[in-house]
């Protein structure tokens, strides 16, 4: 399994129901990388990032504790166990975990590759991702040149789980 996350210099990923920043180049890369693949997200990510609608051109799986939640064009599962069972239908390398904080925390142990857009900036935030630089189970295996979006420097990083 893969995960896809944008994090600031403190590994923050959001505040309230909002992302820290939206970088068009990162969004384009995400859309290319996940086209035709399986994306897994929580209800809050679906609502805040995608206005409650399934992302076209992908198999959308939503993890939610709300047993009344139904999303047109998506499969909704209500427990981690049900999610893991559902994901067995797909090739492991085609699965992308895309948030939010709780879903990342639950599924990080199952992931083998982490695609991280790392921002060289610290935001006021209340949602965080695990610091992979301090986790001995993960190794940085690739990084892009430094890029900028207005005055924010960022780079694309790839981490792989140490086997």
pLDDT 10s digits, 116-154: 999 999 999 999 999 999 999 999 999 999 999 999 999
Query: Which domains does the chain carry?
Result: 2-161 (3.40.430.10)
The pTM for the full model equals 0.95
Dist CA 9 CA 154 (whole Å): 10
98: nearest Cα among 156, 38, 20: 38
pLDDT tens-digit series, residues 70-113: 999 999 999 999 999 999 999 999 999 999 999 999 999 999 99
98: nearest Cα among 59, 143, 124, 153: 59
CB within 8 Å of 134: residues ≥ 6 apart:
none
Peptide bond before 100: cis, by omega within 30 degrees of 0? yes
* Bridge partners, 19 (sequence order): 14
């Amino acid at each position: 399994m893969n995960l896809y996350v944008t994090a600031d210099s403190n590994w923050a990923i959001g505040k309230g129901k909002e992302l820290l920043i939206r970088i068009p180049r990162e969004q384009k890369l995400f859309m290319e990388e996940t086209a035709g693949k399986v994306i897994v997200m929580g209800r809050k990510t679906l609502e805040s990032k995608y206005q409650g609608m399934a992302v076209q051109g992908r198999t959308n799986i939503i993890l939610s504790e709300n047993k009344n939640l139904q999303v047109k064009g998506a499969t909704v599962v209500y427990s981690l166990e049900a999610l893991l069972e559902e994901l067995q239908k797909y090739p492991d390398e085609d699965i992308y975990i895309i948030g939010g904080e709780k879903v990342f925390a639950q599924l990080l142990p199952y992931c083998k590759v982490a695609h991280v857009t790392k921002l060289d900036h610290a935001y006021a935030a209340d949602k965080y991702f695990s610091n992979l630089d301090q986790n001995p189970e993960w190794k940085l295996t690739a990084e892009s040149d430094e890029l900028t979006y207005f005055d924010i420097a960022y780079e694309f990083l790839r981490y792989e789980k140490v086997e």
